[in-house]
Amino acid sequence: MRFYTKQHQFYGGIDLHANAMYVCILDSCGEVVVHKNIPTKPKSFLRVIKPYRDNLVVGCECMFSWYWLADLCADEGIDFVLGHALYMRAIHGGKAKNDKIDSHKIAVLLRGGSFPLAYTYPKKMRATRDLLRRRNHLARKRGELFAHIQNTATQYNLDSLGRIAKRSERGDLLSRFPDPVVRKMVEVDLSTIEHYEQLLESLERQLETIAVGHDPIRLALLKSIPGVGRILSLVMLYEIESIARFPRVQDFMSYCRLVKPAKESNGKSYGHSGKKIGNAHLRWAFGEAVVLMLKGNPDAQRVLQKLSSKYGKGKALAILSARLGRAVYFMLKNQVPFNQDLFLRT
């Protein structure tokens, strides 16, 4: 956990919502100089902070509506910090809770050096990252439709449909369902799947073109990993953004949810906690990358078998995912391609 510890003359805490924002500004002595509710309009915000903006830092919780405020502060030359939503429990622990109290607590955390930081993703690549996340959401919806067709065949005890995710292997899929109503239901699923496939193909080409314009070198380095193709390389590229923001490989591993944070007190272990703190998209990407790396790769399969005999298959895959995370960190930091011999330690 990192905290914002820089000193300023004024500290602005904002409880931000879609249509309103409660602004609290403290001076260096902790006295409240502004505490009011205003609409979420740039002009209203700039008007309120105008007398204090020369040495002001603005902080808000990392919720869905922070983009415009971060961009406005960057354009106006105002220091802006983003608070980690899961770490900011101090604003939820009081007897009473409302927007006025929350904004004051955020300002107090800023002034006291206890404001937990989240990463303020830069504007340049932010929209593309969100578009990529939307693409992955649509791909999962397509997968749900495939699963529904397979489950429908199981309900009526029909023969195996095969790998219907491949367009070339579907054949005359509708004829496999004799009941006309069931056939219509599957037809609706297939029609939706075909629409998703056309949309995803176009979207993936566009995303790759944009990524080459953003950072072709890092994209090529990530594609040097066996099993990492167009989508996984894009996910890693845009979710990491800059490897320089992680001073140590341990910080990167924690961010990717590839390690289990220990919970200890007085020499006693109480298991693990903080499973939801980190980037779920990177955790998924590294897990998928390891599984794809194993396909047609006898050297990697031997290492997995050796680890499985000692830890079990699930933990063995987790170990390889963590090892791949370390490899990616040093690949991007040192600008070198993937080395499978070093990764497998053969």
Q: Which residue has the higher pLDDT, 231 or 168?
A: 231
Side-chain-side CA neighbours of residue 301 (13 Å): 6
Task: Tell me the C-alpha distance between 235 and 164, whole Å.
Answer: 25
Q: What is the dihedral of CA 176, 182, 186, 189, to 10 degrees?
A: -170
Q: Which residues are paired to 268 by β-bridges?
A: 265
Instruction: Say what the pLDDT of residue 268 is.
Output: 80
Instruction: Say what the pLDDT of residue 346 is.
Output: 57
Ordered DSSP codes for 35-56 = EEEEES-HHHHHHHHGGGGGGE
Instruction: Say what the pLDDT of residue 111 is.
Output: 94
Instruction: Report H helices in the chain.
Output: 42-49, 67-76, 99-112, 123-155, 180-214, 216-223, 230-240, 249-255, 280-294, 298-311, 313-334, 340-344
Quick one: 3-118 is in which CATH superfamily? Ribonuclease H-like superfamily/Ribonuclease H (3.30.420.10)
Instruction: Report which of 286, 285, 291 is spatially closest to residue 313, judged by C-alpha positions.
Output: 291
pLDDT of residue 40 exceeding 70:
yes
Instruction: Say what the pLDDT of residue 120 is.
Output: 92
pLDDT of residue 170 exceeding 60:
yes
Across the chain, mean pLDDT equals 92
Question: Which pLDDT tens digit goes with each residue over 279-297?
Answer: 999 999 999 999 999 998 9
Instruction: Report which of 42, 102, 103, 44 is spatially closest to residue 75, judged by C-alpha positions.
Output: 42
The distance from CA 261 to its chain's CA centroid, rounded to whole angstroms, is 18
90 — pLDDT class (breaks 50, 70, 90): low
**For residues 18-39, average pLDDT:** 94
Instruction: Report which of 74, 168, 199, 190 is spatially closest to residue 124, judged by C-alpha positions.
Output: 74
Report the largest interatomic distance among the alpha carbons of the chain, rounded to a whole angstrom.
78
**For residues 215-225, average pLDDT:** 94
Weakest-pLDDT range from 34-38, 125-129, 134-138, 172-176: 172-176
125 — pLDDT class (breaks 50, 70, 90): very high
Instruction: Report which of 273, 277, 254 is spatially closest to residue 325, judged by C-alpha positions.
Output: 254
Instruction: Say what the pLDDT of residue 243 is.
Output: 95
Give the long-range contacts of residues 197-201, CB within 8 A, separation 24 or more.
197/142, 197/167, 199/138, 200/135, 200/138, 200/139, 200/142
Instruction: Say what the pLDDT of residue 261 is.
Output: 78
Instruction: Say what the pLDDT of residue 260 is.
Output: 82
97 — pLDDT class (breaks 50, 70, 90): confident
Q: Cα separations (Å) of 103 from 59, 90, 150, 154, 312?
A: 9, 12, 51, 54, 49
Q: Which two tokens stand for residue 83?
A: 């608070």
**For residues 122-135, average pLDDT:** 94
Instruction: Say what the pLDDT of residue 63 is.
Output: 85
User: Percent of the chain having pLDDT more than 90?
Assistant: 79
Instruction: Report which of 1, 3, 53, 2 is spatially closest to residue 23, judged by C-alpha positions.
Output: 53
Question: Which pLDDT tens digit goes with each residue over 51-65?
Answer: 999 999 999 999 888
Instruction: Say what the pLDDT of residue 266 is.
Output: 75
Q: Cα separations (Å) of 20 from 37, 50, 155?
A: 7, 19, 50
Whole-model pTM: value is 0.88
